[in-house]
Homo-oligomer: A and B are copies of this chain.
Amino acid sequence: MMSAVRDATVPAPQADGPLAIIAGGGAIPIAVAQAVERSGRRVVIFPVRGWADPAAVAPYPHHWIAVAQAGRFQRLAKQEGCRDVVFIGTAVRPPLSSIRVDWGTLRLLPAIARAYRGGDDHLLSGIVRLFEEQGGFRVIGAHEVAPEILMPQGPIGSRQPSEQDRADIARALALLEATGPFDMGQAAVVADNHVLALEATEGTDSMLRRVAELRAQGRIAAPAGVGVLVKAPKPQQDRRFDLPAIGPRTVEEAARAGLAGIAVVAGAALIAEPAAAAAAADRAKIFVVGVTARARS
């Protein structure tokens, strides 16, 4: 029967084998692993040395890898029967001089070197292309296998943004849209219509600590409790990876920076431990809200 033939050529989800998770830092990789296991699929974590938290990955089947150990990853992932790969978690761009490539990576080096120049998107999409074309893997987005980590529309926690907060959110979204083509940060802080900080290489937590410092030095006109952190994906980014992410720690850093709250683009940003993040937001009396990024001309 036709349907039997169709069943044989279109494998059921479990036929995909375990999911390989190449894990950087932060809480999101573990949230993804938990969600995927809850869905009944096995995971094998490949934590990246220096980025991932050893204690957090310990309960899961895992193999440590170093940056540029594409060879080691591909060998182990194939042994584990993994075909699907998720890249997830914070990554720090390492200095080229510190990278010790393995043999499997060596033959990829010219392509990696090309990918290494330019912005993060360029680097990541170059590496993904290599994995897919030369490794036979399928690179998928974390939110495809764990949709519950996508930020929902509206507030989590009990606070809502005010009218002024919404104006600051709109300004930050417009700014991030303007800087999107430059493949830089995905986060900005705006307070009372004034751009306080824009993320480039330093990362969101570091940017928030800068805002906290400027505030402590009395260099921010807006009083404490005014201002928003906004995170949005880059306009042309490959949504399979490097989506902006927040979690309980982001909430705590935003509170320390004296902000009123956090807004991220719903459905295009990840939230680690939403319940813990909502509790942290309520404790800190700040809002965390999923918003719509409206296209502007």
Copy tally for this chain in the complex stands at 2
Q: Which residues of B contact A103 (CB under 8 A)?
A: none
Binds B, one of A124-132, A187-195, A266-274: A187-195
Which of B98, B116, B183 is A195 in contact with, Cβ under 8 Å? B183
Contact check, B201 vs A220: say whether CB atoms are below 8 A apart: yes
Closest-by-CB residue of B relative to A184 is B195
Closest-by-CB residue of B relative to A199 is B198
Contact check, A218 vs B94: say whether CB atoms are below 8 A apart: yes
Binds B, one of A23-31, A79-87, A171-179, A243-251: A171-179
- C-beta contact mask, A144-182 vs B, less than 8 Å → 1, else 0? 000000000000000000000000000100110011011
Q: How many positions in chain A have a CB within 8 Å of any CB in the partner chain?
A: 39
Which of B117, B175, B210 is A182 in contact with, Cβ under 8 Å? B175
Q: Does A106 contact B (CB under 8 A)?
A: no
Which of B118, B179, B196, B218 is A193 in contact with, Cβ under 8 Å? B118
How far in angstroms is the closest Cβ of chain B from A15? 39
Q: Which residues of B contact A197 (CB under 8 A)?
A: 200-202
- C-beta contact mask, A112-126 vs B, less than 8 Å → 1, else 0? 000011110000000
